[in-house]
Structure 1
Amino acid sequence: SVSMALNMTLNGAAGATADEMRTALREAGYTTADINAYSRELREALLRADPKTTIGIANSIWYHQGATIKAPFLEANRTYYDAEVEAIDFTSPTAVSTINGWCARKTNNRIKKILGEIPGNAFMYLINAVYFKGTWTTRFEKKHTFSTDFHRADGSTQKVQMMNLKDTFRCASSDVCDYLEMDYGNHTFSMVIMLPKDGKTTRDVIAAMDGKKWAETMESLILTMCYVYLPRFKAECEYKMHKQILPEMGMKLPFNPELADLSGIADISAFGRLFISSVIHKTFVQVDEEGTEAAAVTSVGVEVGSNESPFFIVDRPFLFAIREKGTGVILFVGEIGEVKN
C-alpha cells in the first residue's frame, strides 16, 4: 500500500527527489516508466490470482479545486494505477468526509478514517487502499476453539480464544524462529507465521531478517504434519511514515519544503514549491476460524529445514505476513505482542 501510493507520487518527482524515493522503495536503477509498468502488472496479477479470495486494490488522487495539474502526471496515474481523479474544494466542510467515505467503501468499512482534517496549505492527496478477505484452505472448527493463556513480552498473561487443528502445512526453522505457512483459497495467497524460539523475541527475528533470507526461507518450506494452535486476533494500526520510517530509509528531500522537486505535478511558479507533508498508513487485520480479513490505506499528502516439533503453538508474541506466492509480494506484515479479539 505504501509503495503503490509513493510510486503514484513518483510520477511527479524529478532529480534528486525522485532518486531518494526510488532508493527508499528499493527501486534504484529503474525508470519511472519501468516502475509504472511493473506496478500495473503486479496489480492485475494480484486481482486475478485467486477467485476464491477477495482482494481489492484502489487508488485515487484528490486535488484542490481550481488547481491545474499537469496532464502527464494524471494520465500516468490513470493508465498504470487505475486512479480515480477528483477535484474538490478542500475548504468545504464535506471534503474530509468525502475522502474518508471513499476509503471506507474501498475497504469494506474496515478503515473509515484516513484524514482528520485538511490543513489550509493542502494541495493534493494520493491514496491507495488494499482490501483482502481470504478463507483458509483448511478451516479451523469453531467447536475446537478454547480459552487459554497468551504470554505477553512483559511476562504478563491474557486469556485468548485459541483455534487449533491438525493438518499438513509448509514449515521451516531458523536459529531464531519457526515458520509455518497457512494457505487461503486455491493456495495462491498464504499467511506465514513467524514464532520466535524460546529465549528469542520478535525483535531478534526482525533483526535477523532481510529480503534474501526471507526468499531463502520461503524456498526451504517443507510439508509437515503438525498440530497448529493459533489465537483469534485483530490488529488495527496507524503509522505516520513521514516522521521517522521513510527518512531512515533515505527519503528526506521529498519532505523538505525548500528542496523537494515535485514539479511534475504542477507548475511551481503558479503554486509555489510542492513537497510531501505526510505519508499516513493505516491497517486492519482480523484472523478467525474462517480465515483472514485485512485492509490497508496509505495517504500521501503533498504539502530452513523442517520443524522438528509436531506442535506449533502460538501462545506468545509473533510476526505474520500475508503474501501472494506467485509474485512473492507481501500484502500485509505485522507483529502481535498482545491479542485483541
Structure 2
Amino acid sequence: MALRAVPFFPCNFAAGRRVYNSNGKLWNEGWGAERMIHKKTRIALLSTALLLTLAACAEPDAGMDLQQRRQAAEAVDPRIVQAQNEFGMKLHRQLTEAEKAKGNQAANVVLSPYSVSTALAIAYNGAGGNTAGEMAETLGWTSIGKDEANAGNRALQSLLERSGDSTELRVANSLWYRKGLALHKPFLDTVKADYRAELHSTDLSGKETPDAINRWVSKQTKGKIDKMVNGPLGQNIVAVILNAIYFNGTWTDPFPKSSTQEEPFTLADGTEAKVPMMRQTGSYAYAENEAWQAIRLPYGDGRMAMLVVLPKERSSLDELHERLWTDSSEWRKPFEHATVDIRLPRFKTEGAWRLNEPLAGLGMRDAFDPSRADFSALADIRPLYINEVAHKVYIDVNEEGTEAAAATSVGIATSGPPERPLEMTVNRPFFFAIEDTQTKAWLFVGSIGNPAES
C-alpha cells in the first residue's frame, strides 16, 4: 500500500508526443502508471500541473472590485508570498542548470511556483519529523507553523480566484484514495478546509478509476487536458493527489495584429531565429538600469500582469539569472510609468519536469527515501514516501493576451516620460513572470531562450 499522486499533464499522451524529464530521459512514450511502480516497494507519487492556453475568458469569479481586492490583498500573509517566490526562483535555478548541463543553452524553462508549492503543501500536512522539517525548509516555511501556512495558502487561493472580469484564475485540488483506507482525520480536515480539495474514496485499481480522474481533470481545465492517466493505477496505489491551475488573461491593451511582423531573435549562441514580433506603443510600468530593461504588461483591470525582464545587449540572460536567483525583490517593486514602444515575440512554450532531483537538491531528501520518509500524519502505513513529483506547463502568448489551463539590488533611475517613446525590443533571451500585482505573487515564471521553439 502506498501514497501516490498521478502526474497531471495538460495534453493527451495518446497523441504520442515525446516529453523528457530533467535528466534527459524519455518520460511519456508509452507511459502507463504500471511502468512507474516497483512492485516490492511502497510508493508515493506526488504530482502538480498547470496548463496555460489561449482561450476565451469565461465565467470569471470577479467577486470584489479592485479597491476591495486591494484591501483583501493586504490581509494575505506576506511571508507566504515571499516564500513562494523565493522557492520558485530556487526551483527555476535547478531546472535551468540541469538544462545547461545537458547542453540545452537555448532551452525554455517555465514553471508555476504556485502550483508546485500548493501540491507540496498538501503532502506537507501529512508529513512528520525530519521529513516535515525538510519540506518546510524547502518551501521557506521554517518560521511559519503548519496552521499559519495553511491559513495563508487558503487566503491567497481565495484572493487569486477573484482576478477581475477580464482574467480568470482557477485553482482545483483533489484527493483520491483507496476505499477503506483510514486517512487521519486532521489531515482530511485540513485538505478540505484549507485547500478546498474534493475527496474521492474509490477503488483505485479499478478499470473505471482512470476515466473518472481524467473526467475530473477535463472539467477543471475546460477540456484543455482530456487525458492524464493511461491504464490502471496498480494494486499498491492507495492515494492520488492532484492539483490543477487554469489561467486566462486578456491584455488591458491588446497588441494590434496588423503590427505583428517576422523579425530576427538572437539566440544565446549568436544564431538567429525568425519570430512573429508583436508591437505597440503605450503607457506602461517600466524600469531600467545599466544591465536590464523591465516592463509590466497588465491584464484586464491590472490585478494581474506579465513582467518581462530583458538583459541589455552588453549583458546576458545568464547574468540576469544570477541577479534573479540571488534576490528577485527588485522586480517586485513598483515601477514608474513611461511611454514605451514595446516589441514582444508571440510565443508558445511548454515544460515537463520530473522534480524529484531538483527538490532533493533544495534539501527535501527524506520524503523520497523509503527508509527515512515520515508521512505518519497522513496514514498509519509504512513505508510511505513520495515516488515522484511531476510538473507540466503550457504557455501561449499572443496579441490578445495569455489564456491558460497550467524581477538586482541596483538602484533604478527613472525619469518622467520623454518626448519620444522609450524602446524595448525583446529580440534576445528574456525572463518573464505572470504576477498578481496586489500581493506580488509570481504565479508562473520562465526564461525564454528561443520563442520559435514550441
Q: For residues 141 and 35 of structure 1, what CA distance do their matches in structure 2 show?
A: 43
Corresponding residue to 2:388 among 278, 286, 296? 278
1:127 Cα deviation (Å)?
1.4
Task: Identify the residue that residue 366 of structure 2 maps to in structure 1.
Answer: 253
Aligned length: 329
Task: Identify the residue that residue 317 of structure 1 maps to in structure 2.
Answer: 429
Task: Identify the residue that residue 36 of structure 1 maps to in structure 2.
Answer: 150
Deviations 1:136-163 (A, max 9, x none): 1111111111112222223332222111
State the one-letter code of the partner of 1:166: T
Q: Indicate the SS of the match to 2:161.
A: helix
Corresponding residue to 1:291 among 401, 404, 409? 401
1:266 Cα deviation (Å)?
0.9
Q: Which moved more, 1:88-97 or 1:153-162?
A: 88-97
Q: For residues 336 and 26 of structure 1, what CA distance do their matches in structure 2 show?
A: 26
Q: Which moved more, 1:98-107 or 1:142-151?
A: 98-107
Task: Identify the residue that residue 301 of structure 1 maps to in structure 2.
Answer: none
Q: For residues 332 and 183 of structure 2, what CA distance do their matches in structure 1 show?
A: 43
Greater share of residues in strand: 1
Q: Indicate the SS of the match to 2:364.
A: coil
Q: For residues 237 and 119 of structure 1, what CA distance do their matches in structure 2 show?
A: 27
1:125 and 2:235 correspond: no
Q: For residues 115 and 208 of structure 1, what CA distance do their matches in structure 2 show?
A: 39
Q: For residues 353 and 443 of structure 2, what CA distance do their matches in structure 1 show?
A: 16
Does structure 2 retain, via aligned residues, the 8 Å contact 1:171–1:222? yes
Task: Identify the residue that residue 19 of structure 2 maps to in structure 1.
Answer: none
Does structure 2 retain, via aligned residues, the 8 Å contact 1:136–1:185? yes
**In structure 2, do the counterparts of structure 1 residues 220 and 4 end up closer, same or farther at CA, with 3 Å as the change threshold?**
same
Does structure 2 retain, via aligned residues, the 8 Å contact 1:173–1:305? yes
1:207 and 2:328 correspond: no
Deviations 1:207-226 (A, max 9, x none): 11147x42233325221111
1:223 and 2:337 correspond: yes
Map 1:90-239; keep pairs closer than 5 Å.
90-115=204-229, 118=233, 120-210=235-325, 213-239=327-353
1:119 Cα deviation (Å)?
5.2
Task: Identify the residue that residue 299 of structure 1 maps to in structure 2.
Answer: none
Q: For residues 149 and 323 of structure 1, what CA distance do their matches in structure 2 show?
A: 28
Task: Identify the residue that residue 300 of structure 1 maps to in structure 2.
Answer: none
State the one-letter code of the partner of 1:255: F
Q: For residues 268 and 330 of structure 2, what CA distance do their matches in structure 1 show?
A: 28
TM-score of the superposed pair, with normalisation by structure 1: 0.90
1:174 Cα deviation (Å)?
4.0
Deviations 1:102-148 (A, max 9, x none): 22322233344444563553322211111111111111111111112
Q: For residues 206 and 325 of structure 2, what CA distance do their matches in structure 1 show?
A: 45
Corresponding residue to 2:193 among 79, 97, 101? 79
Q: Gapped runs of 5+ residues in structure 1?
A: 297-303
1:288 Cα deviation (Å)?
0.7
State the one-letter code of the partner of 1:306: T
Deviations 1:168-202 (A, max 9, x none): 11111245321111000011100000112214332
TM-score of the superposed pair, with normalisation by structure 2: 0.69
Q: For residues 209 and 196 of structure 2, what CA distance do their matches in structure 1 show?
A: 22
Q: Gapped runs of 5+ residues in structure 2?
A: 1-114, 407-411
Coordinate RMSD, CA, aligned: 2.0
State the one-letter code of the partner of 2:378: I
- The percentage of aligned residue pairs carrying the same residue is 34
1:26 and 2:140 correspond: yes
